[in-house]
């Protein structure tokens, strides 16, 4: 290799990109950056799938709801399930049927309430309404149903035995 060629090689180590190829290099770097972003998005989606597996719960405790048996038709009471961090609402419909849901609104987590005798559960924060029968949203901003608490009537009272989400 001649001295001139060696000199050009050294010069290229410091300035490796020709001016007319500058946009070419920038595009290559952008392609690499986008592919890195693609890997991150892929990982994030996988992490969500993994979180759903870890967060899924199958061992629900049976918790007795005090005073449930004495509830009058068209009224409600509050209880906690499956632990103290889970506010829930138990409703006795006009027909005498017991229904229980999470009290946390699926819109922005306000506490929902049951106006006596009505056929909807109301979220007072943004005027969201859910059907008492199945917890589905019927009006207002919520788009997801309230998680339903499964109930079981035993000889010594009414028990919450699980949640359907």
Partner 1 sequence: MQTQQQGSVLFAGVLVLIATLVIIQLWLLTAALEALLARTYEVLVPATVASIVLFVVNALLLGYVVAFDRKVRSRRRNDSLELL
From 31-39, 94-102, 108-116, 127-135, give the range in contact with partner 1 by CB under 8 A: 31-39
Q: Is 58 in the site for partner 1 (CB under 8 A)?
A: no
Minimal distance in Å, beta carbon 27 to partner 1?
5
Residues in binding contact with partner 1, number by CB under 8 A: 31
In the range 73-132, which residues lie near partner 1 by CB under 8 A? none
The single residue among 27, 57, 136, 154 that binds partner 1, judged by CB under 8 A, is: 27
Nearer to partner 1, 16 or 85 (CB): 16
The single residue among 116, 144, 152, 153 that binds partner 1, judged by CB under 8 A, is: 144
* Residue 88 Cα distances to 53, 83, 129, 137, angstroms: 24, 10, 16, 17
From 33-41, 59-67, 76-84, 151-159, give the range in contact with partner 1 by CB under 8 A: 33-41
The single residue among 11, 22, 32, 152 that binds partner 1, judged by CB under 8 A, is: 32
Nearer to partner 1, 8 or 70 (CB): 8
Question: Could you write out the three-class secondary structure of the chain?
Answer: CCHHHHHHHHHHHHCCCCHHHHHHHHHHHHHHHHHHHHHHHHHHHHHHHHHHHHHCCCCCCCEEECCCCCCCCCEEEEEECCCCCCEEEEEECCCCCEEEEECECCCCCCECECCCCCCEEEECCCCEEEECCCCCEEECCCCCCCCEEEEEEECCEEEEEEEEC
Could you list the residues that contact partner 1 (CB under 8 A)?
2, 4-5, 8, 18, 21, 23-24, 27-28, 30-32, 34-35, 37-39, 41-42, 44-46, 48-49, 51-52, 56, 144, 147, 165
């Amino acid at each position: 290799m001649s001295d001139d060629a060696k000199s050009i090689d050294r010069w290229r180590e410091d300035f490796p990109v020709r001016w007319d190829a500058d946009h070419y290099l920038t595009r290559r770097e952008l392609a690499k950056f986008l592919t890195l972003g693609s890997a991150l998005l892929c990982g994030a989606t996988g992490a969500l799938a993994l979180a759903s597996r870890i967060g899924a719960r199958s061992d629900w405790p049976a918790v007795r709801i005090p005073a449930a048996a004495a509830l009058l038709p068209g009224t409600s009471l509050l209880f906690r399930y499956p632990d103290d961090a889970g506010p829930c609402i138990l409703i006795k419909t006009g027909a005498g049927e017991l229904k229980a849901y999470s009290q946390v609104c699926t819109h922005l987590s306000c506490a929902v309430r049951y106006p006596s005798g009505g056929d909807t559960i109301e979220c007072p924060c943004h005027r969201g309404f859910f059907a008492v029968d199945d917890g589905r949203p019927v009006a207002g901003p919520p788009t997801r149903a309230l998680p339903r608490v499964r109930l079981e009537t035993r000889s010594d009272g009414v028990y919450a035995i699980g949640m359907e989400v």
